[in-house]
Amino acid sequence: MAKMNLLQAINNALITAMTAEEKVMVFGEDVGHFGGVFRATSHLQEKFGKGRCFNTPLTEQGIIGFANGLASQGAYPVAEIQFGDYIFPAFDQIVNETAKWRYRSGGQFDVGGLTIRTPYGGGISGGHYHSQSPEAFFAHCAGLKVVIPRDPYQAKGLLLASIRDKNPVLFLEPKRLYRASIADVPEEDYELPLGKADLVQEGTDITLLGWGAQIEILQKAAEMALDDGVSCEIIDLRSILPWDAEAVINSVMKTGRLLINHEAPLTGGFASEIAATIQEKCFLYLEAPITRVCGLDTPYPLAHETEYMPDETKTYEAIKRSLHY
């Protein structure tokens, strides 16, 4: 065990993966000698050489196109998109190519070795273009897996599983936790399961569901609610696609209430999908309407970032409304 922040855990996972398998290659803008703008790829080029960790020209569509080809050849590319906000030039390569590669060829070819890493989310005064949470766009895209860790321990285990998974994975990293979240992380190799939620805290009165950086918001709100005698169950979904409906259903059948929190805008956010499924599966168990605490349907603001955020006070108020419905 070692104390690591989230960036160090990611760096450690990449070193672990590259040591175990020489076909793991890491590339993107500034990831080479410089080690990435957040330093997630520090020292990889020194350790593994320029052939396996390298800078690319500044072209997201090129990075993912290249990564698709490399993965189809049998390698394990770990492509970095510097900010999730800049993933959209690669949208065609991801949606039309990455996600459909295996299906369209009848399983003859695949890009299962591909992992796309990108920082997402706000809370860093980044404005429109350094704060977005694009997970819902990709959740609509059959053939992809979408994974989001909440802390350094989860980050290492989930990233190693993503790199080795036989399907392409979009790995979204909560950038406001990069240095803020510190945890004990095993130095050895380990994986955490994709497509499985994690029970963060047991409770009996309401289920609070989220992922990534919002888990700590849910924990703060749960503490506030505990002062009122409310027992919250907290679930980290961890994978958006495919998502662990069973874990959520079991929890909601027990608590009778569900609150979903995400940073991305409300309309068409992944909470909508979860709410639709849970009302169908748990209709007669629900004591109150499923509630969503999300970002506003605006572009991500700068001066009003604090107001925009689905924070612990908004979450706490939504818990009370659900309890008193």
Partner 1 sequence: MEDRNHLGKIKTTNRVEVIGNGLIDIPMLQLLKPDGSEHESAQLPELDKTLALKIHDTMEYIRILDERMVAAQRQGRISFYLASTGEEAAAVASAAALSPNDMIMSQYREQGALAFRGYTTDQFMNQMFSNKADPNKGRQMPIHYGDKALNFMTISSPLGTQIPQASGYAYGQKMAGNEAITICYFGEGAASEGDFHAGVNMAAVLNCPVIFFCRNNGYAISTPSEEQFAGDGIASRGIGYGVKTIRVDGNDPLAVFAATQEARRIALAEMCPVLIEAMTYRLAAHSTSDDPTGYRSRDEEDKWRAKDPIARMANWLTHKGWFDEKQNKAKVDQARQDVLAALKVSETIPICGIEEIVEDVYDSVPWHLQDQLTSLKAHIKQYPKKYPKTSGSVR
Which residues are designated catalytic? 60, 130
Min dist CB 310 to partner 1, Å, is 26
Q: State which residue, 48 or 316, has the beta carbon closest to partner 1.
A: 48
Size, binding site for partner 1 by CB under 8 A: 49
The only residue of 54, 91, 190, 285 in contact with partner 1, by rule CB under 8 A: 54
Q: Give Cα separations from 243 to 111, 134, 138, 240, 287 (angstroms).
A: 21, 16, 13, 5, 24
Min dist CB 251 to partner 1, Å, is 17
Give yes or no for residue 65 binding partner 1 (CB under 8 A).
Answer: yes
Amino acid at 16: T
Contacts of 137 (CB under 8 A, 6+ apart): 91
The only residue of 21, 62, 127, 302 in contact with partner 1, by rule CB under 8 A: 62
Q: State which residue, 105 or 204, has the beta carbon closest to partner 1.
A: 105
Q: Quote the CA–CA distance of 178 and 219 in Å, as a whole number.
A: 18
Amino acid at 264: A
| CB 206 within 8 Å of CB 157 | no
Q: Which two tokens stand for residue 209?
A: 């569901």
Give yes or no for residue 25 binding partner 1 (CB under 8 A).
Answer: yes
Q: Quote the CA–CA distance of 83 and 81 in Å, as a whole number.
A: 6
Which long-range contacts (C-beta less than 8 Å, at least 24 apart) are formed by 89-96? 89/59, 89/60, 89/61, 90/60, 90/61, 90/63, 90/64, 90/65, 91/137, 92/61, 93/61, 93/64, 93/65, 93/68, 94/64, 94/138, 94/141, 94/144, 94/170, 95/141
Give yes or no for residue 142 binding partner 1 (CB under 8 A).
Answer: yes
Min dist CB 73 to partner 1, Å, is 3
Give yes or no for residue 89 binding partner 1 (CB under 8 A).
Answer: yes
Give yes or no for residue 110 binding partner 1 (CB under 8 A).
Answer: yes
The only residue of 242, 256, 268, 301 in contact with partner 1, by rule CB under 8 A: 242
Give yes or no for residue 102 binding partner 1 (CB under 8 A).
Answer: yes
Q: State which residue, 166 or 324, has the beta carbon closest to partner 1.
A: 166
Give yes or no for residue 272 binding partner 1 (CB under 8 A).
Answer: no
Q: Quote the CA–CA distance of 46 and 52 in Å, as a whole number.
A: 10
Q: Is the peptide bond before 89 cis (omega within 30 degrees of 0)?
A: no
Q: Quote the CA–CA distance of 274 and 234 in Å, as a whole number.
A: 15
Q: State which residue, 66 or 190, has the beta carbon closest to partner 1.
A: 66
Give yes or no for residue 314 binding partner 1 (CB under 8 A).
Answer: no
Give yes or no for residue 34 binding partner 1 (CB under 8 A).
Answer: no
Provide the binding-site residues for partner 1, judged by CB under 8 A. Answer: 23, 25, 51-52, 54, 56-57, 59, 61-62, 64-75, 77, 89, 92-93, 96-97, 100-110, 112, 142-143, 145, 166-167, 195, 242, 245-246
